[in-house]
Amino acid sequence: MSADYATNPAVNTLRDYLRIRSVHPDVNYDECLTFLRSQAAAIGLPVQVFEVVPKKPVLVMTWEGLQPELCSVLLNSHMDVVPVFEKSWKHPPFAGEIVDGVIYGRGVQDMKSIAVQYLEAVRRLKNKGMRFKRTVHLSFVPDEEVGGAKGMAEFVKTDHYKNLRVGFALDEGIACSTEEYQVFNGERTIWHLNVICPGKSGHGSLLLPDTCGEKIRYIIDKFMDLRQVSKSRLENDPMLTIGDVTSINLTMISGGIQDNIVPEKMRATFDIRLATSEDLEAFENKIKQWCREAGAGVTYNFNQKDPYVPPTAVDTTNPYWIAFKSSADKLGIKLAVRTFPGGTDSRYIRATGTPALGFTPTHLTPSSLHEHDENLPVEQFLRGIEIYEEILPAVANV
């Protein structure tokens, strides 16, 4: 490890955070809260902890603005990380190991580095004696990696959140391998769908009519044909990214009890991410039509059916975007506006009517979200702090 990195307080703060095993399943957030409370105390920020759902705490640090009556700026991050397969890692996932200028650890991209970049940027700005018009809140939330249903989804419904009076939020994005920095102003709509196909059961040696196998084949063909349309669009238009199209994946097939018995029911489960341009009502009507065409008794239901949430405006109608873009221009960094391909807590914030951008200040770095040996070059991490030092004053003085 470089001697400079070994003594760098920001790097060591990140390494300490990475060593906390806030990993699914059954995350205990107590150690995260202790760590974050100590960070807030060192910076000089008051802390509130809200436990809307038992054992799912939300910690909020507050840097009061000169005009606290104005709507605030929220810097959001999640404390939890996805599971690891430790035998597949070359570097210990919870050691914060640095090798050849690269720091390894579960959550180093997703998204503990961003949380520490927020903290370090605020620390530096505060140490310079700077103050801004708007109050800045830093929120640290649970369970984003399992959908946020017991985290941000519940928190935004509370008076605790409403009392923060959030006017604009920043949340996670994705590292980019090119020169550009990606900024995400919206997300696709998540539908997790089951299609249930009943049919005539009987002996596997017969060619029975009205079987569930025939029906489920029809359904799968329809979904896969539509999937191919999106694949072709991506292949034929280099300007499109995965966030611009509707993705469909068959994720589970279930049914059957024995290899020589035609079952009475089979089920196919699909993960669907609907593009922001998709007409959700028309799409569901298409599914209803396919079920009718597949045969008698075919039905569907949802494990998850998120509503459409409008993207955040990235034009002159949004003063926060103007401030964000101006600070990027001042830094000489190029932004690429994208639709986030997965789901983040931003969607819950946007659903309240608050503009939110997903931004990870990392470029020239492949994304390693959820991968073995998740990693981040230390220089990219440190540069990200400097980027937030420019962005925060801009958006907090809107």
pLDDT of residue 354: 98
Q: Residue range 35-41: average pLDDT? A: 98
pLDDT of residue 6: 79
How do the domains of the chain map onto residue ranges?
3-187+311-396, 189-275+277-305
Task: Tell me the percentage of the chain whose pLDDT exceeds 90.
Answer: 98
Angle formed at CA 283 by CA 346 and CA 345, multiple of 5 degrees: 10
Rounded CA separation 125/123 (Å): 6
Whether residue 214 lies in the annotated active site: no
Rounded CA separation 235/243 (Å): 14
In the set 110, 120, 143, 144, the catalytic residue is: 144
Q: For residue 72, what are its two tokens?
A: 């605030």
State the pairing for strand pair 265-274/189-198: antiparallel
Quote the CATH superfamily of domain 3-187+311-396: Zn peptidases (3.40.630.10)
What's the whole-number average pLDDT of the chain?
97
Rounded CA separation 256/261 (Å): 8
pLDDT digits (tens, 9 = 90+) for 286-344: 999 999 999 999 999 999 999 999 999 999 999 999 999 999 999 999 999 999 998 99
pLDDT digits (tens, 9 = 90+) for 165-193: 999 999 999 999 999 999 999 999 999 99
The CA-atom distances, in angstroms, between 202 and each of 216, 223, 388 are: 17, 28, 65
DSSP H helical segments within the chain, as ranges? 3-6, 9-18, 30-43, 112-127, 152-155, 159-162, 212-236, 280-294, 319-331, 346-351, 378-396
| For residue 1, pLDDT beyond 70 | no
The DSSP output letter for 311 is P
| For residue 393, pLDDT beyond 70 | yes
In the set 80, 244, 306, 374, the catalytic residue is: 80
pLDDT of residue 191: 97
pLDDT digits (tens, 9 = 90+) for 129-157: 999 999 999 999 999 999 999 999 999 99
| For residue 4, pLDDT beyond 90 | no
- CATH code of 189-275+277-305, in short, is 3.30.70.360
Whether residue 80 lies in the annotated active site: yes
| For residue 3, pLDDT beyond 80 | no
pLDDT digits (tens, 9 = 90+) for 11-28: 999 999 999 999 999 999
pLDDT digits (tens, 9 = 90+) for 50-85: 999 999 999 999 999 999 999 999 999 999 999 999
Is 126 in contact with 5 (CB distance < 8 Å)?
no
Confidence of residue 2 (pLDDT cuts 50, 70, 90): low
Rounded CA separation 278/188 (Å): 9
